[in-house]
Amino acid sequence: MALCDHCQVRPRYVDGLKIHPYCSKSCAAKGKRYLPPLTSSVNGAISSMGDCHFCHARPKNVVGDRIHDFCSKICARSAQKKSARSGVRTNKATCQAPGCGKPVNYCSISHKTLEETMCLLCLEAPIMLKSHFCSRRCKNHAEERGPMILEVPLGHKTFKSVADQFKQSWRHTNAVCPPVRLVYKIITPASTLVKYNAYRDAVEARGNFVSSGRSKGNENRRWHGTRRTCNLGDKYQTRPCSSSRCSLCSIIRNSFEVSVCTTNTGWCRFGHGIYTSSTSSKSNGYSSNDCKSALKAMLLNKVIVGNGCKLRQNNDTLTAPPQGFDSVLGEKGNVLNHDELVVYTNDAIRPSYLVMYEP
């Protein structure tokens, strides 16, 4: 039997005739509280909820007959702070747990834990295991609304994981690693992951990477810098543009495309493929703003490395990895100062996070 839509631990309740989506009344109440339906009945009339007035990504919250302007208390408080400070930042610390706001970083261990693990959609409940969401309902709802980006709270464990990788992989000694200011989780419809997951399974079947302690298909997180022509990723800017010139939004909307390999660089060292790197400072060199912004953007992506072929010499005629390999690993030395990873199929990579940092 399927598990409860909210807790994902206990089986759904069956009353003899109907299988309910939740295991109990308490989970039902929490599930309905955290994620209201897209439409709501107000005084007998059906009206569209629309998006939160602050984040413009999540639906407005509904309590009884009242439709609030915001999706959560966090967005409501953020909107109030933005209005009060008129665009001027304040460093005054407050507890970021939902519904708290006491004048301390964290007022309790439980609130600190909640801030570190809260659902990225409803911003209320702790996430499920190996997920960014508190329930299957939140997960499905986010994917149905994708492609979009969801801001990751500063104190969240995901923010720390991404920001730490950015800092630790900044290897250029002639430039100080800039601070990460914002991290967004990129949400894409589940349908866009079908080919990626199938490719990962096929690579795993050939290489048996899990048996040697690696991830399925030897999946890794790698950086990619590209051109941004809009202000996506700046504070409060969460809607991808539709311009074909904005490579950043094109990737978020449609993922990567091998056919545009040379669009921004004019030449590809290891042939016609999709290039990423484990070195954030290398990808920084390919990140550019064709817009007015105080921040730069970089993508952290899921990439199926599989069995990588190590190369130290240029080979710009490649259109696929050498026979028996799944990717090309451009190694440091000879022609490269820092590493490159090249895949030659769109199915081998998907954007996962958008990172905004100071130039």
**212 domain-assigned:** yes
| Residue reference for tokens 């492609």 | 147
| Residue reference for tokens 């490649």 | 318
**233 domain-assigned:** yes
The DSSP element (H or E) to which 99 belongs, if any, is none
**73 domain-assigned:** no
Where b means 16+ CB within 10 Å and e means fewer, 208-233 reads ebeeeeeeebbbbbbbbbbbbbbbbb
Residue 208 · residue 216 · CB < 8 Å: no
Q: Which residues pair with 252 in a beta bridge?
A: none
**329 domain-assigned:** yes
Residue 50 · residue 59 · CB < 8 Å: yes
User: Whole-prediction pTM value?
Assistant: 0.76
Where b means 16+ CB within 10 Å and e means fewer, 258-279 reads eeebeeeeeebbbbbbbbbbbb
Around Cβ 204, how many Cβ atoms within 10 Å?
Answer: 20
What's the pLDDT at 42? Answer: 35
What's the pLDDT at 18? Answer: 73
**35 domain-assigned:** no
Name the 3-class secondary structure at 215. Answer: coil
What's the pLDDT at 56? Answer: 73
Residue 141 · residue 36 · CB < 8 Å: no
What's the pLDDT at 88? Answer: 39
- Residue by residue, pLDDT tens for the chain (359 residues) are 567 776 666 787 877 767 777 788 877 776 655 444 443 333 333 334 467 777 777 777 776 656 777 878 778 877 776 665 544 344 456 666 666 667 666 667 777 777 899 999 998 899 999 999 999 999 999 999 899 999 999 989 999 999 999 999 999 999 999 999 999 999 999 999 999 999 999 999 999 999 999 999 999 999 999 999 999 999 989 999 999 999 999 999 999 999 988 766 777 999 999 999 999 999 999 999 999 999 999 999 999 999 999 999 999 999 999 999 999 999 998 899 999 999 999 999 999 999 999 99
How far is it, in rounded angstroms, from Cα 130 to Cα 153?
Answer: 18
Angle at alpha carbon of residue 226, lines to 221 and 232, rounded to 5°: 95
Q: Could you tell me which residues come within 8 angstroms of residue 323 by beta carbon, excluding any fewer than 6 positions away?
A: none
What's the pLDDT at 195? Answer: 97
**108 domain-assigned:** no
**351 domain-assigned:** yes
**291 domain-assigned:** yes
What's the pLDDT at 114? Answer: 78
Residue 87 · residue 104 · CB < 8 Å: no
Angle at alpha carbon of residue 305, lines to 299 and 311, rounded to 5°: 100
| Burial class of residue 176 (count of CB atoms within 10 Å of its CB; 0-12, 13-18, 19+) | exposed
Domain of residue 241, CATH code: 3.90.228.10
What's the pLDDT at 81? Answer: 67
In the chain, how many domains are there?
Answer: 1
What's the pLDDT at 115? Answer: 81
Give backbone dihedrals phi and psi of 145, rounded to 5 degrees, phi first.
-90, -5
Q: Could you tell me which residues come within 8 angstroms of residue 208 by beta carbon, excluding any fewer than 6 positions away?
A: none
Expressed as residue numbers, the domain containing 238 is 157-357
